[in-house]
Amino acid sequence: MKKKRIFLATPTMHMEEQQYIGEAFDTNWIAPLGPNVNAFENKVAEYVGMPSSAALSSGTAALHLATILAGVKENDIVFVQSLTFAASVNPIRYEKAIPVFIDSERDTWNMDPAALRKAFEKYPHPAAVMVVHLYGTAANIDEIYSICQEHHVPLIEDAAESLGTTYKGKMTGTFGDYGIYSFNGNKIITTSGGGVLVAKKEKDVERARFLSQQARDPARHYQHSVIGYNYRMSNIVAGIGCGQMLHINEHIEKKHKIYNQYKEAFADIAEIEMNPLNRNSIDNNWLSCITVSRNSNVTPMQIMDALADENIETRPIWKPMQLQPIFKEFDFIQVEDGLSVSEDIFNRGLCLPSDIKNTDEDTQRVIQIVREQFGA
Ligand SMILES: *Cc1c(COP(=O)(O)O)cnc(C)c1O
């Protein structure tokens, strides 16, 4: 008999989501907009400590609008973290701008401020900088923001994975000029698919809403002065989000527990390290990851295979952008020559099951199989 499937990260629904959707049905608020969208925008804004937010169809759509609002145009340079998901970079290419990939630091796995400074020496006038809080671990956002300020360049924070992560007591996504969150199915909470944009300037949030609804000028007939998008979140989807927002802190608590269970269980195995947490932050631990030390005979793919044989889902670390066939023509900035930090993490890392519905027994099964690979 096949063993019970253990997942990486799947949606976790509660009761309230259906109530919000039920109300939408009862009042026939099915089409875009409606009370759930407003309520969801308010809930997210309040949670992250911003005056407003714009609810959109995906995190990628939110990044695209952030890129446009930051003023990125054809042939502009944009500095973007190299260790990330392609969805961070694609919106830069939608605008025909030129990404320059910035290597990560070991302390957070996110954009290395030293590499960012180096990039500014080579390209003094980028149109924007995009940092990511990978796996829910905060980047050293203070330092990155102040470098951007020194150079008068807008900062976009891809906080798709880090909703609820605080840095020095303030929510990630709210440090930059623009911040985005994803509500895709595997994220800390989900709307089934969706995104939210926040911005330092209130008028940017309004502009995002305008652009996301086909950029209709305030005229009686259909009139357009700029290119618009169909990126608004629907009222049904927002209803799921309203229900999920009631449970976000509970989700984060469970993610902390999973991370700590792995950390304790692997503490005696010198060849395993957990993904780093930022010492200035409380991270949401969206995914728990390990790296295997360089001198180990065990490879991450061997661990992946052993777990897959037991019906357990894992995932490699995001493959860095400078290694992607589609982006190979673009420049990559690292502090020291040789193997980059992002490639090294990719080579040696693995994301472990972090689904909050996994039981302690499930996690123990994962732990035992990982330990066996190291003869422990
Ligand atoms: C999930 C994710 C996105 C994209 O969000 P979607 O809502 O799936 O479009 C962007 N960046 C990162 C780092 C992500 O993990």
Mean pLDDT value of segment 239-262: 98
- pLDDT tens figures, 81-124: 999 999 999 999 999 999 999 999 999 999 999 999 999 999 99
- pLDDT tens figures, 277-306: 999 999 999 999 999 999 999 999 999 999
Length of the chain measured in residues: 376
- Tokens 């998008």 belong to which residue? 229
How many percent of the chain have pLDDT more than 70? 99
pLDDT for 295 equals: 94
Q: Label residue 375 left, alpha or beta by phi (over 0 means left) and psi (-120 to 50 means alpha).
A: left
Could you tell me the distance, in angstroms and rounded to a whole number, from the CA of residue 141 to the centre of ligand 1? 19
pLDDT for 32 equals: 67
Helix (H) or strand (E) holding 167: strand 166-167
Per-residue pLDDT band for 315 (boundaries 50, 70, 90) equals very high
Could you tell me the distance, in angstroms and rounded to a whole number, from the CA of residue 194 to the centre of ligand 1? 10
Helices (H), the chain: 16-26, 35-48, 59-69, 86-94, 113-122, 141-150, 202-212, 235-245, 248-265, 300-309, 341-348, 360-373
pLDDT for 224 equals: 94
Mean pLDDT value of segment 247-253: 98
Mean pLDDT value of segment 221-243: 96
Report which residue type is found at 49.
G
CA distances from 338 to 324, 333, 335, 341 (A): 18, 12, 10, 9
pLDDT for 202 equals: 97
**CATH class of residue range 248-373:** alpha beta
- pLDDT tens figures, 12-70: 999 999 999 999 999 988 876 889 999 999 999 999 999 999 999 999 999 999 999 99
Sorted by sequence, the CB contacts under 8 Å of residue 347 that are 6+ apart come out as 300
- The residue whose CB lies within 8 Å of the most ligand 1 atoms, and thus the one to mutate among 83, 158, 197, 321, is 158
pLDDT for 161 equals: 98
pLDDT for 2 equals: 79
pLDDT for 170 equals: 98
Closest approach atom of ligand 1 to CA 63:
10
Give me the CATH code for the 15-245 domain, please: 3.40.640.10
- CB crowding 70-109: b at 16 or more within 10 Å, else e: bebeeebbbbbbbbbbebbbbbbbebebbbbbbbbbeebb
pLDDT for 1 equals: 67
Could you tell me the distance, in angstroms and rounded to a whole number, from the CA of residue 209 to the centre of ligand 1? 19
Q: Label residue 164 left, alpha or beta by phi (over 0 means left) and psi (-120 to 50 means alpha).
A: left
- pLDDT tens figures, 159-212: 999 999 999 999 999 999 999 999 999 999 999 999 999 999 999 999 999 999
Residue extents of the structural domains in the chain: 15-245, 248-373
Residue 346 has pLDDT above 80, yes or no: yes
Residue nearest to atom 5 of ligand 1 (CA): 59
Q: What mean pLDDT, rounded, does the chain reach?
A: 97
Report which residue type is found at 44.
V
310 with 338: CB under 8 angstroms?
no
Same fold, 15-245 and 248-373: no
pLDDT for 327 equals: 98
Closest approach atom of ligand 1 to CA 134:
13
The structure's pTM equals: 0.97
At 245, list the tokens: 């927002």
Residues having CB closer than 6 A to ligand 1 are 58-60, 84-85, 87-88, 132, 158, 160-161, 182, 184, 195
